[in-house]
Chains A and B, each alone.
Chain A
Amino acid sequence: MTQLNPAAAKLLGMPGLLMRSTLMVILASVLAGVVAVAYTAYTTSQRAQETSQIRLNELLDTIESTLEVACFAKDATLAGDLADGLLSNSDVLAVNITGDQHVLADKRRGWLDAASDAQGVKLLKRPIYSPFDSGKIVGHILLTPDPRVISARIKEEVRLAAIQLSWQLAMVAFAVAAIMLLFIVRPIKAMSDRLHSMDPTTGERLPVPRRHADTELGQLVSDVNALSERLVNTLAAERNLRVQREIDEKKYHTIFDNAESGIFIIDGAGSLASWNPAFERMFEFAQPHADDEYAWVNMGLLSWDDPRKISELISSALRRSSAMAEDMLIHLRDGKRRWVNIVLSPVGDNLLQGVVHDVTHLKEAEASARRLVITDPLTGLANRLGLEERLRAHIQEYAFTQTGGFALLLINLDAFRQVNEGMGLPAGDSILQTTTSRLSSCVKSGDTVARLSADSFGVILNRITQGEVADKISGRIRQAIRQTYFVDGSPINLHASIGITLFPNDAFDVPTLLRQSELAMDSAKSAGGDVHVFYDPVLAEAAEHRRHLENDLRGAIRNNEFVLFYQPIIDLRTRRVSGAEALIRWRHPSRGLVPPDSFIPLAEKTGLIIDIGLFALDAACRQLLAWQGQALDYTLSLNVSGRQIPDGLSPARLREVTDHYGIGTRRLALEITEGVMLHDIEKSLHWLKAVHEMGFRVYLDDFGTGYSSLSYLKMFPVDTLKVDQSFVRDMRDDNNEHTLVGAIIAMGKSLGLDIVAEGVELSDHIKALNRMGCHYAQGYYFSRPIPAEEFGAAVHHIDTLLKGGLPAEQAPRL
């Protein structure tokens, strides 16, 4: 606004305005004048014609009577005189008098020829009547007015009108110019001058011209002032913005320069337009200052391991117009390789903005993590995940090529846990490492050896389709493991159970392969170990059956399908029932009463035995409470499985339950087998001592079938021995069993233990047992295991049996 060009001001501004408006006024005036003059000329001509006509008519009127006479008398001389007289009038150019078809006079004046008469001149023709009969036409007179006279008059009129108009116009133009100058041009000029020297940023504003407060000029001034105000404000805002932007730019520049990541901009062809120092460092630009030299460096020419990938990334980022990222390998001068992550984002105009950072550490960490995930740290072999990965790879390869096939071996070191526990973890680790090298020596280079868990290994024998080869190698592996291990100089002998599955014969997927080889391995273990077993569908069936049973068992626990049966125990000295052994039974809804042998092993294996054991404890206590209510001081003995010791049936839990029912601990006996005790001597002993101290009595069940070690008997706090029923049942006079039972009883008594003879079926057995000094007896001779509600009847029957002259030879069996 303040920088208005003076020349432009002169051209557009005040003098020009005046000139223009004056010119326009004059032009308009002239135009109006021309129109007015033309109009005047036209009307004047009309009027002159009319005037001429009127005058001629008047002229004619004055000579009419004479004309009448002349025409009536057809007097050419008189007519000629009249014509002359008429022609003496300047208005008349020609006269023609006709009387009764005869031209009486035809005169004209001056130089004009007849042809030009008619032009634009209105002829005056008048009939002439007889002086004696006003109804009778006796002739005509034709007057031709002189056009020169008319035009001369018109000229005069026009000249006058033009002069008058010119005066008027001149006056108007002058007045307009003066008004313009005074009221518009001068104030505008003043405003303009003021504007030229005005600096709105200092708050200067235009003053409203005098007497123009309410005019358009005043409005204009206030508008200009308002505009200046806005412009000044906008300028100030703009300046602030610029300053802010400079600060921001400086900030971003700092970030750009100091960033650890490489930042750059490239065009669609990959030419680098700009980059930061980190980018230079990353790609080892030789001279950081030699910018010009690299002005046209192309991304594709940097030290990529695969330059095609970068050009693909660029084109795909441009094509999808979205950010694309990729990890790429670059080569450094020193021959090392680095991983960089490059992110390209289109920023429009066929340009891409890129960020690149070194991810070598990440990549290495990732790789090692991946390795770790599939590697067993102790042996360096693949772990379960690694094995599964290899299996999947083999299966995929087979799917593609339809050739190959492999055998999966699952190898479990038998009794390794004992070694581990007995000799310590380092010994176990050493054995595992040795095993690893032995396994590796048994397989080919294309095969895989993996460690799946503590003591089990997996081996993939690649390219094996025939069982014989797998069989041979399995034999070799077992042979290798049977070799004596030496741990700290001590020899250790181990053997392995191996389960074998063949792909694609047996299974097609990894989980099935693993499960099948595990089934085969379990089967090998069940066979006693140191064997290898091929997977057999029967194994799967058995496993399926087991799974069903297990489900049934869980359902049974939920649905309270278990029940305790009681087999009376008789005190041979008092000849009375002293208690009973509680035996678990399963009332299966469809299969009826299921004997314990059918489900206890599985219950032990799956741990369900613990729930069953707790139920049994509860039921036994309830029964003791019931007897207590009937004033019967029977004792009850409860079978305890190895799985229940020490935590499944903890001493605290025992105390809690007996306390709950208010049962004296002396009345509850816990029956364990020798095997249970020997399974984990430490724990068993600890448990036994604890329960024994609480007052529970401890029965050693099935005595005579296992170790029957006297030293154990001394070590464990056992109260009662239960002589295994097989000895008692087969006992005849003086046979081996008889001697054995006698010896057990004698030994027990010598150790101060009570003896219960199980399997008493004949009165002879009682006689013999009495002879041997056995305290208690239990068996079908008295009663089979019966439900609680039949127990009273059984006791009654036993009482009569014992009172009725013992021993009765053929006691009826219940």
Chain B
Amino acid sequence: MRTLPLLLICVLLGVASGPHAEPVVVVNARSGIERLSQDEVINIFLGRYRKLPNGAQAIPIDQPETSALRAEFYRRLVNKELNEINAYWSRLIFSGKTSPPRSASSVSEVITLLGSHAGSIAYIERSQVDPRFRIVLEFQR
């Protein structure tokens, strides 16, 4: 009988995050980037390096704060929950040397931002991928 509440929580969570949330990392197709390694992606998103392999300025874009995809992405990327990621960034913010990725206000803004800048790099729902973008990293399930 104990398993019941646990099971319940899981179900509730699963419902909340959505069963189809599968982020893929994409860049503007014009950027010329074909593939990125997971490390390269981590470096870019977590503010270590902000450059693409071709030397261009990388501009990472986060999904909105509340997005389930965002949580899923970081979970898949560095196996961390969002609060952890936030804690990380909170330490860095004060020095002002680096900053977290720009947080889009919505999924569409992500798309827009992606398209507006050649160095943009973001993660989106696989289903949202269109030819303007190039998937440079897919997460293994």
Interface residues of A (CB under 8 A from B): 66, 69-70, 72-78, 81, 131-133
Contacts and interface: CB of A to CB of B under 8 A. Distances in A.
B2 interface: no
Given A131-B88, A132-B42, A73 B47 contact: yes
Query: Which has the most chain B C-beta neighbours within 10 Å: A70, A81, A132?
Result: A132
Given A66-B91, A131-B88, A132-B78, A72 B46 contact: yes
8 contacts: A69-B88, A69-B91, A77-B94, A78-B92, A78-B95, A78-B97, A133-B42, A133-B78
Contacts of A75: 92, 95, 97-98
A445 B77 CA distance: 174
B132 interface: no
B96 to A, nearest CB: 7
Interface of B: 39, 42, 46-48, 77-80, 88, 91-92, 94-98
A798 B16 CA distance: 216
Contacts of A72: 46, 48
Given A73-B97, A78-B91, 11 more contacts: A66-B91, A69-B88, A72-B46, A73-B47, A73-B48, A73-B92, A73-B98, A81-B95, A132-B46, A132-B77, A132-B80
A117 to B, nearest CB: 27
A81 B88 CA distance: 16
Given A132-B42, A132-B46, A132-B80, A77 B97 contact: yes
A66 B80 CA distance: 16
Contacts of A81: 95
A347 B135 CA distance: 138
B51 to A, nearest CB: 13
Label chain B's interface by main secondary structure: loop
Given A72-B48, A131-B88, A77 B95 contact: yes
A77 B48 contact: no
A74 B88 contact: no
A77 B96 contact: yes
A78 B94 CA distance: 8
Contacts of A133: 39, 42, 78
A78 B77 CA distance: 24
A73 B96 contact: no
Contacts of B47: 73
B7 to A, nearest CB: 31
B62 to A, nearest CB: 16
A74 B91 contact: no
A70 B97 CA distance: 10
Nearest to A76: B97
Nearest to B90: A69
A70 B77 CA distance: 19
Contacts of B96: 77
A72 B46 CA distance: 9
Contacts of B91: 66, 69-70, 78
Nearest to B42: A132
Contacts of B97: 73-78
A74 to B, nearest CB: 7
A77 B48 CA distance: 14
Contacts of A131: 88
Contacts of B80: 132
A66 B77 CA distance: 20
Contacts of B88: 69, 131
Nearest to A136: B39
Contacts of B95: 75-78, 81
B70 to A, nearest CB: 16
Contacts of B79: 132
Which 9 A-B pairs give the minimum distances between C-beta atoms? A77-B95, A132-B78, A75-B97, A78-B95, A69-B91, A75-B95, A73-B47, A73-B92, A73-B98
A369 B76 CA distance: 162
Contacts of B48: 72-74
A75 B80 CA distance: 21
Contacts of A132: 42, 46, 77-80
A69 B42 contact: no
A70 B91 CA distance: 8
Contacts of A70: 91-92
Nearest to B49: A74
A73 B93 CA distance: 11
A72 B88 CA distance: 10
Contacts of A76: 95, 97
Contacts of B46: 72-73, 132
A131 B46 CA distance: 10
A137 B117 CA distance: 32
A66 B92 CA distance: 9
Contacts of A74: 48, 97
B61 to A, nearest CB: 18
A76 B39 CA distance: 22
A73 B88 CA distance: 10
Nearest to A80: B95
A391 B35 CA distance: 167
A3 B94 CA distance: 100
A69 B98 CA distance: 12
B120 to A, nearest CB: 21
A76 B95 CA distance: 8
B44 to A, nearest CB: 12
A77 B91 CA distance: 11
A72 to B, nearest CB: 6
Contacts of A73: 46-48, 92, 97-98
A534 B129 CA distance: 193
B85 to A, nearest CB: 9
A82 to B, nearest CB: 10
A133 B77 CA distance: 10
A644 to B, nearest CB: 180
A200 to B, nearest CB: 100
Contacts of B94: 77-78
A362 to B, nearest CB: 147
Contacts of B77: 132
B32 to A, nearest CB: 26
Nearest to A99: B48
A78 B47 CA distance: 14
B117 to A, nearest CB: 22
Contacts of A77: 94-97
A69 B47 CA distance: 10
B38 to A, nearest CB: 9
Contacts of A69: 88, 91-92
B18 to A, nearest CB: 24
B27 to A, nearest CB: 21
A78 B78 CA distance: 22
A133 B98 CA distance: 20
Q: Which of B48, B77, B96, B98 has the most CB of A within 10 A?
A: B48
A81 B46 CA distance: 20
B3 to A, nearest CB: 31
A72 B89 CA distance: 11
A137 to B, nearest CB: 13
Contacts of B39: 133
Nearest to B79: A132
B127 to A, nearest CB: 27
A78 B93 CA distance: 9
A78 B89 CA distance: 12
Contacts of B98: 73, 75
A70 B94 CA distance: 11
A794 B96 CA distance: 205
A131 B42 CA distance: 11
A81 B95 CA distance: 9
A738 to B, nearest CB: 209
A75 B48 CA distance: 9
A81 B77 CA distance: 29
A500 B77 CA distance: 176
B137 to A, nearest CB: 15
Nearest to B74: A132
A170 to B, nearest CB: 59
A243 to B, nearest CB: 118
A464 B88 CA distance: 171
Nearest to B84: A131
